[in-house]
Amino acid sequence: MEAFRDRTTKIDIPYNRRLSDEVRIYEKSFGTDVCAGRHLAPHAIEAAATWAVLTRLEEPKNAGISLLQKLFLYDGRKVNGFGEATAEELKQEAVGEGMYGVSPRYVQDRIAAALVSDDGPPCLNAYDVLDSLEQGLVNHPLLECDELRATYTDVVALVREEMDERLKDELRRAVACDAEAVKRLCGNYVLGVTASTRGEGGDERLMRSIEEKIGVTEARKADFRREIVNYIEALAEKGERFAHSSNARLQAALELKLFEDCRDTFTLRSGAGAVVDRDADEKVRLVSGHLVRELGYCERCAGRALQRVSGLFARGDTKTPEEELEDEDTEA
């Protein structure tokens, strides 16, 4: 044994710091839709990987970059104008990153424990996985420091918030998939701005409720409306028709307006014994169907996703439409 020690050199290898690589680690073990008889909902593995990598990172010294944004920069994404150069600077100022934090083995064990739990839900979503990760911290053999345990618990809360925003964004996009609803809203807006620019009035309340979603101020509303009308007229001269997708800013505003209108529907459904009218119920079915068809949800986990967002809306635990639109600036 002594001879063996004389001929070996210890080399410390840091844990992975790239989110997409961490996801691939867990997909090797839990990559199928169904594991241990349970369906793995979208974002379940990603939530676990996000938490794991965050425990290995230092808080950025740059006050303009959050820990979560640092994670995305390390993963090759652009965040609020920051890119690859910023990511390299962050790495150079935190040379010890990856030499601490939780191991992939711990995460795999906690996902497996959640999958085989007798009292677990039939579909394991991101929040179930995060609950399991947090519960495991209590008896983690390598976590004797209460301060470190508290830090990791705070990171769980941070990832929950990120998953909430991801879920709300998916529902917003699902609402926007109702092409007829977007078309009707766009038509009403165009009628309003056309009348307004001619001095004939128009539905001011509707127009402002849409324009405010993209930060068009009261002082700038006339210029914005004239811009839309001029574009409509230019298209008409070429024999083309204006559509909601013709102007990217207007399209974003229309989608946010539709989503805001649906918030009350989701909030009503969160109440026990709530009575929802046929139109509202149809909106919910449309959103749920999109989650199932396009995003890999099953009917059960789509229902749980709607319940989660309903609870957020009921508590008022949401960002403003303007903040939601700003989040779109983070490029994958």
DSSP secondary structure letters along 115-170: HH-TTS-SEE-HHHHHHHHHHHGGG-TT---HHHHHHHHHHHHHHHHHHHHHHHHH
* Helices 146-176 & 299-315 angle (0-180, nearest 10): 100
What is the C-alpha separation between 133 and 114, in angstroms, rounded?
9
Between 74 and 254, whose confidence is greater?
74
Query: Which residue, among 203, 198, 208, 205, has the nearest Cα to 188 in the 3D structure?
Result: 203
Query: Which residue, among 49, 122, 107, 163, has the nearest Cα to 300 in the 3D structure?
Result: 122
User: For the chain, what percent of residues have pLDDT higher than 90?
Assistant: 49
Average pLDDT of the chain is: 85
Asked if residue 21 has pLDDT above 90, the reply is yes
pLDDT-based confidence at residue 178 (cuts at 50, 70, 90): confident
